[in-house]
Structure 1
Amino acid sequence: MKFFHIEILIAQHLKKSVFQNKAVFIITLFIGVLLLYAAFSGWENYSGQNETSEKYQHESRKDWLNNPDKNPHRMAHYGNFAFRKSTSLSVFEFGMEPFFGNAIFLEAHKQNTANFSEAGFSNSMLRFGEISIAMVLQVLLPLLIFFLGFNSVAAERENGTLKLLLSQGINWKQLLTGKILGVASVLMLLFVPTIVVLVFIWLLLQGFTISPDETLKMFLFVLFHFVYLLFFCTIAVLVSAASATSKKALISLIGIWLVCTIILPRTTQAMGAYLYKAPSKIQFNSDIEKDILKQGDSHNPNDLHYKAIKDSLLSAHKVDSVQQLPFNYSGFIMTEGEKISSRIYNKHLEELLKMYEKQNRFSKAVSFINPYIAMKNLSMGLSNTDYDSYIDFQKQAEAYRYNMAQKMNGLQVKYISNKKPGPTGKPLTIDKGHWADIAEFHYEPKGIRAVLKNEISAVISLILWIILLFFLLRIAAKNLKAI
């Protein structure tokens, strides 16, 4: 009990001395205002994007169902839209969402990418990053922690009170732990209210009906941010204890903050893109088009590949022309063409994703020397605003597109005659009731298991950093000197 009593007294003394400085009040108030603004802007962004997505997804579905009797292949080219709704945690972590599109036009024989990103409609200020709660927690609060803790031990050494404390029976372990708790107690004055507001907004957005998966994501989001901030509290005190003066401690801590939150993340991205160069969008599409043309053009009746299919069908059914086949020949060819084009696209996409995965793997490896990158990756993963969530949306939309196109081709094969109508004949169509056979698109965010599996390196990194700091604390307690 005496051990804890001493630590608490040291923590209380630090907390009291911190608030004797008016600058602390101003900085704390400023960050508090930023947190409120971040919560408001996150709420506004989430509500606006999801309302827009719901509105246009509904309109797209309505337009699809209201199409008149039509040829199924024309319906496949008429297409549909897939919209991605934001998850509730994206209110606090914008991640890459402003730069990735949230809508994809789905049509036969063509794979489109997501469009209508917020960055596409914003001014150049977006490149500096938006103010989110996650950004304040991950970037600004560590800077505040360093400002609070840079003189926690160094000032005692400069004033000559450090010798006095140690001579009264207080050991280094008690002193360092008490100082860490003191800095953390000041930080909690911002962190706890932020989490209370965060949880309330999160519950409100879901109508106070929550799923176990979302609850676990929220719990881990809060837990890992707490651990992350506690890490910086420990760093601040250890650097202060190892520095001869407060000035040296402050310079060292600012340097650490700049490297961790600004220099290293941007350098890592640049190096990853340089080491593992990905093809441009034009080159990617051009390579796909070349491979498809090598396989054959399903819309060209004289194409050698599809002419061979035609000859084999006529031979198998012992008929002289496609008009005599018991099914629609064009629909059959379109089905085959869709299979080929989708297979080629998926092959090229997997190769591209492997290159991006190498870039991301490089960034994840750097997280073992930079806890900020680990926390950022984990935060984006839990809020489904990371790169992998965007790719997951693309894949879900592509699966929906392929199913839509093939169902339309199947309807054409089954219901459309091979005999073309005359100049005054009625166009070959089917009843519009078939359009309802295609279910409405709904994006399903990644579950907690998939997120943790993908971000396992970030989790391990944060755990290793905490273990490392624990050992550094023990080593410092044994080797630090009062002078």
Structure 2
Amino acid sequence: MKLLQTEFLIARHFRNSVFKNAAIYIITIFIGLLLLYAAFSGWDNYRNQNETSEKYQHESREDWLKNPDKNPHRMAHYGNFAFRKSSSLSVFEFGMEPFFGNAIFLEAHKQNTANFSEAGFSNSMLRFGEISIAMVLQILLPLLIFFIGFNSVAHERENGTLKIFLSQGVSWKQLLTGKTLGIASVVMIIFIPTIIVLVFIWLLLQNFSITTDEIIKMILFIFFHFVYLLFFCVTAVLVSASSKTSKKALVSLIGIWLIFTIILPRTTQAIGAYLYEAPSKIQFGSDIEKDILKQGDSHNPNDIHYKAIKDSLLRVYKVDSVQKLPFNYSGFIMTEGERISSNIYNQHLEELLHIYAKQNSFSKAVSFLNPYIAMKNLSMGLSNTDYDSYIDFQKQAEVYRYNMAQKMNALQVKYISNKKPGPNDKPLTIGKEHWADVEDFHYEPKGIAAVLKTEIISIISIVLWITFFFVLILFASKKLKVV
């Protein structure tokens, strides 16, 4: 403790001097109000989306079960809905959620994409981003840190007190560490109450019933944001210490902030999309249709592929017509058609996801040059509001859709007769009690293990950045000049 006594004295002196400036109070109050608004906005968005999802998922289920006796294939085309609920941490980190849909219509022979995104119902102002707690912590607080710390050492050099400090036995290392702790202590006045409110809201949203997985996500969310802010405190002190005047330090720090939070993120996205160009939605759907037609049309009785299947079935069962088969022939063909079309879709989807993975890998690689990108990616991953979470929802919905369609096909194979009904006969149907055999869709967010595996590069990047800057303090302690 004695070893840090000088650093703590410098930190306390710096903190006291900061609050002699009335502008700090105004900025602090402004950011505090922004955080309160962001917390309320996140709470409201989370509550509305989850209430809406629960409502329509329940209505969709009721509509499915209320269907009368019907042909199972008609039920497969009647379809169902899959809704995605928001995770509790999405209250603080909206991520890509406003731009991704949260509902998918599921039907036989067709894979639909998610719809009903918030962006789809919003005006162009959404392009500028929504105010979330994560946005304030990741963008505005670093700017505040730079505003507080730009003159932390440069001002001492300008008014001559730097020589006095060093002549009294204070080392550069102690001075830089003390100034860093001083800036951090000012920022903690905002950060700590924010975290307390954040945790309370998080517990309240879950009725104080939380899992170990969610606790770990929350702890990591808080810890890495603290480390991220500490990085900017160190940056402010080092730039100030290496600048001859406060003005030069301020200009340099604003430039760093603009590059990290505005320029590099947008440039990275544009370059990634240019280097690894993905097909359009129309092209993607068209390619799938072409490949499916190459395999055959299960709804066309004269299709070559399915005619070969019919002929082989007739030979195996030693009958001369599909009407004499011991199972429903149409249901069997629909089962085969669903399997083929789903396999083709999944193949094309994997190819598309591979392209997107390359785009994202480029962005993650740039995180070694920009801690903001690393923090943003990790924050979205922990909140289940990143691109991978959206794809995970799509895949879970596709598994459910495929099983639903094949369940209906299996019911058709088992219960529907091959004999065509006459013009005055009742349609071939099965009892509506079979609809309950298809369970309701329930989305499971990615667990912490999957998140950490996906965001390992972001974690390494943040750790390397903060390690590098503390090493830089040691290096700068030996190289910095008083004048």
Relative to the length of structure 2, the TM-score reads 1.00
Aligned twin of 1:153: 153
Secondary structure of 1:105's counterpart equals strand
Contact 1:83–1:104 (CA<8 Å) still a contact in 2? yes
Provide the rounded CA distance (Å) in 2 between the counterparts of 1:303 and 1:481.
84
Aligned twin of 1:459: 459
The correspondence of residues 405-420 of structure 1 with structure 2, limited to 5 A, is 405-420=405-420
Provide the rounded CA distance (Å) in 2 between the counterparts of 1:40 and 1:124.
22
The correspondence of residues 99-178 of structure 1 with structure 2, limited to 5 A, is 99-178=99-178
Offset, 1:102: 0.1
Provide the rounded CA distance (Å) in 2 between the counterparts of 1:270 and 1:344.
30
Provide the rounded CA distance (Å) in 1 between the counterparts of 2:292 and 2:170.
76
Secondary structure of 1:113's counterpart equals coil
Percent of residue pairs bearing the same amino acid type: 81
Aligned twin of 1:25: 25
Contact 1:3–1:174 (CA<8 Å) still a contact in 2? no
For 1:349-379, what per-residue CA distance to the aligned partner results, in whole angstroms no more than 9, with x for missing partners? 0000000000000000000010000000000
Provide the rounded CA distance (Å) in 1 between the counterparts of 2:312 and 2:210.
57
For 1:76-132, what per-residue CA distance to the aligned partner results, in whole angstroms no more than 9, with x for missing partners? 000000000000000000000000000000000000000000000001100000000
Aligned twin of 1:314: 314
Offset, 1:232: 0.3
Aligned twin of 2:280: 280
Secondary structure of 2:369's counterpart equals coil
Aligned twin of 1:375: 375
Aligned twin of 1:61: 61
Secondary structure of 1:93's counterpart equals coil
2:203 corresponds to which letter in structure 1? L
2:201 corresponds to which letter in structure 1? I
For 1:296-333, what per-residue CA distance to the aligned partner results, in whole angstroms no more than 9, with x for missing partners? 00000111110010011011100010000000000000
Provide the rounded CA distance (Å) in 2 between the counterparts of 1:424 and 1:283.
45
For 1:24-47, what per-residue CA distance to the aligned partner results, in whole angstroms no more than 9, with x for missing partners? 111111000000000000000000
Offset, 1:481: 1.1
Provide the rounded CA distance (Å) in 2 between the counterparts of 1:297 and 1:103.
28
Provide the rounded CA distance (Å) in 2 between the counterparts of 1:14 and 1:468.
24
Provide the rounded CA distance (Å) in 2 between the counterparts of 1:292 and 1:5.
73
The correspondence of residues 210-229 of structure 1 with structure 2, limited to 5 A, is 210-229=210-229
Offset, 1:140: 0.2
Aligned twin of 1:366: 366
Aligned twin of 2:260: 260
2:405 corresponds to which letter in structure 1? A
1:275 corresponds to which letter in structure 2? L
Aligned twin of 1:433: 433
For 1:230-249, what per-residue CA distance to the aligned partner results, in whole angstroms no more than 9, with x for missing partners? 00000000000000000000
Aligned twin of 1:208: 208
Secondary structure of 2:81's counterpart equals strand
Offset, 1:392: 0.1
Contact 1:11–1:178 (CA<8 Å) still a contact in 2? yes
2:389 corresponds to which letter in structure 1? S
Offset, 1:3: 2.8
1:446 corresponds to which letter in structure 2? K
Contact 1:162–1:482 (CA<8 Å) still a contact in 2? yes
For 1:431-476, what per-residue CA distance to the aligned partner results, in whole angstroms no more than 9, with x for missing partners? 0000000000000000000000000000000111111011100001
Provide the rounded CA distance (Å) in 2 between the counterparts of 1:356 and 1:185.
41
Secondary structure of 2:442's counterpart equals coil
Structure 1: give runs of 5+ residues left out of the alignment: none
Secondary structure of 2:86's counterpart equals coil
Aligned twin of 1:40: 40
Count, aligned residues: 483
Aligned twin of 2:397: 397
Provide the rounded CA distance (Å) in 2 between the counterparts of 1:418 and 1:179.
84
1:246 and 2:246 aligned = yes
Offset, 1:50: 0.2
Provide the rounded CA distance (Å) in 1 between the counterparts of 2:295 and 2:124.
43
Secondary structure of 2:426's counterpart equals coil
Root-mean-square deviation (CA, aligned residues, Å) is: 0.5
Aligned twin of 2:193: 193
For 1:138-189, what per-residue CA distance to the aligned partner results, in whole angstroms no more than 9, with x for missing partners? 0000000000000000000000000001000111011000000000000000
Question: What stretches of structure 1 move > 2 A for 4+ residues in a row?
Answer: none
Provide the rounded CA distance (Å) in 2 between the counterparts of 1:101 and 1:224.
28
1:222 corresponds to which letter in structure 2? I
1:477 and 2:472 aligned = no
Provide the rounded CA distance (Å) in 1 between the counterparts of 2:472 and 2:480.
11
Secondary structure of 1:37's counterpart equals helix
Structure 2: give runs of 5+ residues left out of the alignment: none
1:329 and 2:329 aligned = yes
Offset, 1:4: 1.5
Contact 1:80–1:105 (CA<8 Å) still a contact in 2? yes
Provide the rounded CA distance (Å) in 1 between the counterparts of 2:149 and 2:187.
11
For 1:194-248, what per-residue CA distance to the aligned partner results, in whole angstroms no more than 9, with x for missing partners? 0000000000000001100000000000000000000000000000000000000
Offset, 1:2: 3.6
Offset, 1:335: 0.1
